[in-house]
Amino acid sequence: MEKRVLLAVALSFVVLYGYQAMFPPPKPPQRSASAPRSADGTKPDAAAQPAAQGAAPPQLEAPATPAAAPVVADKVERDIVVENDSVHAVFTTRGGALKSWRLKKYQDAAKAPLEIVPQDTPAGHPRPFMLSVDDPRISAVLRQALFRPSATAVDVRNGPATLVFEYADATGLTARKQLSFHPQNPYVVHLSASVDQGGKPLVPTVHWGPAVGNALELNTSGYIMPPRPILYRDGDVERVDVGDIAEVANAQGLFGFAGVDDHYFMTAAVSLKEPVALNVAPVPVPARDGAADPPPPYVSWSIKFSGPANGTAFFAGPKDFDVLAAVDRDLVRAIDFGIFAFLVVPLLRALKWVNVYVGNYGWSIVLLTVIINVVMFPLRHKSVVSMRRMQEIQPEVKAIQDRYANLKMTDPARQKMNTEMMALYKERGVNPASGCVPMLLTLPVLFSFYAMLSVAIELRGAPFIWWIKDLSIYDPLFITPILMGITQFVQTKMTPSTADPTQQRIMLLMPLIFMFMFIWAPSGLVLYWTVSNLWAIGQQALTNRLIGPAPQRTVRPPAERKLKTAGAGRSDKAAKERR
């Protein structure tokens, strides 16, 4: 029984914290001190990185050549604003590209609308929706061309809208982009794009460039994931660390979705209807504000089609379950819920439902934790009662074990020990597994709640009380981790145990270990654990009151029992002789 308890604790520890070892903060790519500069004097881009870092972003530059006279083009570079209830986007006529994509419902560290398109990347990288082809000269023209827009501004708040960029020059080069927006999917752009040279269609590559813009604001330790490629194909999601980009640098196939995500946000091409070639590469970023080390790199990505892009959906927004499901049902797989996803999704829906009435995600976590513990009350009660019964007969179990302590494990006589113990369990009506099984049944719920609170974007920026302004980051005053450690210690002291004194002392160290492990955990997760501990303490006190104190049983040492047995044998013999 003691081994089973320790095994359950060890498994809990491994599952709760093992994923941190799987997702360590990536090391920034090393730059060569003697790296040459490009012809125009700018720093070399990711193409100059070692091959181990993955393929470099496609080069859009080309040798300088006289520009052909434009036939269809804008006169000057200008911005086109696209607005809906959730996004403020800015396109530029230079290359017909996206300059800014700000999410109104999410804030950055400065409390401004969150920017998805990085604004601090080194020069020379493409912007979202830029086009290129196999001919580098044409690609350079498409990048610098002033596309003529169909509107000076686009308002999507009242209904679907379309923005068209067109370009043509005297060489017969024509390019057209049509971007469609719909208020029901505010984070989606449907792109149709074509490039022709002298009436001959060219195969386009649609660039997104570096992504995702907010990922470098690492506000907690080990829980906020930097940008990484994400691919969904053949029913499986591939999440690739920056150090392993070479494995998928030029992935080809039919993808359900493909792009780059971080802990809470994602940019990706969705519901692709034909095989494409995905190109991804790291984009190193210099250190900020005098910091000694640079932040994790961005990841640049692009998709090459087999023909003109025709209504391809590009998503740039939050990894919110309902938002993703409204775009494409398979897109919800971008959220890493772990192996207990079948439980995490109902818990997430329950949390959002409770929050509709409570209006505060911190108190919603408290209330949902109480509801879950009420449901699990019978299982925990049965477990405690079973542990109490095991505790009552522990002296007798120990006495049986002591009688066979000197026998080797391979001695057939040790089988008698198991027979005696099973007879004792049967006589006292105790099932040795009944104390562990009910608690093990509650572990999937615990792990599911843990997984949900670790990735739920609903907690990002959600305040609780006073000093806790964001449930997705650690407690700045470390009050809740300390409370969690204290309550877990009290719970451990109150819980009946059949372990020997040494094992009990080891178990009392677990609250301290958990407290330090949860120091940097999201405060919403620590809040859940603390409330669960408080409930367990109250339930333990109630159970102790219902079943009463444990009776004290004393068992004579084996030598004393043998002496008494021997004396009883001699007395019986003497009595027979007298008769």
Burial 204-214 (b: 16+ CB within 10 A, else e): bbbbbbbbbbb
Strand 153-155 and strand 79-83: the pairing is parallel
Q: What is the pTM of this model?
A: 0.77
DSSP string, 171-227: TSEEEEEEEEEETTEEEEEEEEEEEEETTEEE--EEEEEEE-TTTT---SSSSSPPP
Where are the domains positioned within the chain?
18-22+72-336, 346-393+430-547
| Cβ count within 10 A of residue 67 | 13
Q: Would the pLDDT of 390 be above 80? A: no
Please tell me the predicted confidence (pLDDT) of residue 5.
44
Q: Residue 433 is inside which H or E element, if any? A: none
Q: Residue 428 is inside which H or E element, if any? A: helix 414-428
Q: Would the pLDDT of 74 be above 60? A: yes
Indicate the DSSP class of residue 407.
S
- Per-residue pLDDT tens digits for 534-577: 998 998 888 778 776 655 555 455 444 444 444 444 445 544 45
Q: Would the pLDDT of 509 be above 70? A: yes
Tell me the one-letter amino acid at 16. Answer: L
- Where do runs of H (alpha helix) occur along 429-555? 437-455, 479-494, 501-517, 523-547
Nearest to 352 by CA among 323, 315, 327: 323
Q: Which residue has the higher pLDDT, 304 or 402?
A: 304
Mean pLDDT of 93-104: 95
- Per-residue pLDDT tens digits for 449-504: 888 888 899 999 899 988 999 998 889 899 999 999 999 888 888 766 555 566 66
Q: Would the pLDDT of 302 be above 80? A: yes
Tell me the one-letter amino acid at 401. Answer: Q
- 335 and 319 Cβ atoms separated by less than 8 Å: yes
Q: Would the pLDDT of 132 be above 90? A: yes
HSE (CB half, 13 Å, CA atoms) of 15?
A: 19
- In CATH, the number for domain 18-22+72-336 is 2.70.98.90
- 90 and 100 Cβ atoms separated by less than 8 Å: yes
Please tell me the predicted confidence (pLDDT) of residue 170.
92
Please tell me the predicted confidence (pLDDT) of residue 12.
52
Q: Which residue has the higher pLDDT, 140 or 64?
A: 140
Q: How confident is the model at residue 437 (pLDDT cuts 50, 70, 90)?
A: low
Q: Is the dihedral of CA 23, 24, 25, 30 positive or negative?
A: negative
Query: How far is CA 237 from each of CA 25, 303, 329, 372, rounded to the nearest angstrom?
Result: 21, 18, 14, 30
Q: How confident is the model at residue 10 (pLDDT cuts 50, 70, 90)?
A: low
User: What residues have CB less than 8 Å from 14, skipping those under 6 apart?
Assistant: none
User: What residues have CB less than 8 Å from 565, skipping those under 6 apart?
Assistant: none
Long-range contacts of 508-513 (CB under 8 A, 24+ apart): 510/9, 511/485, 511/486, 512/485
- 392 and 551 Cβ atoms separated by less than 8 Å: yes
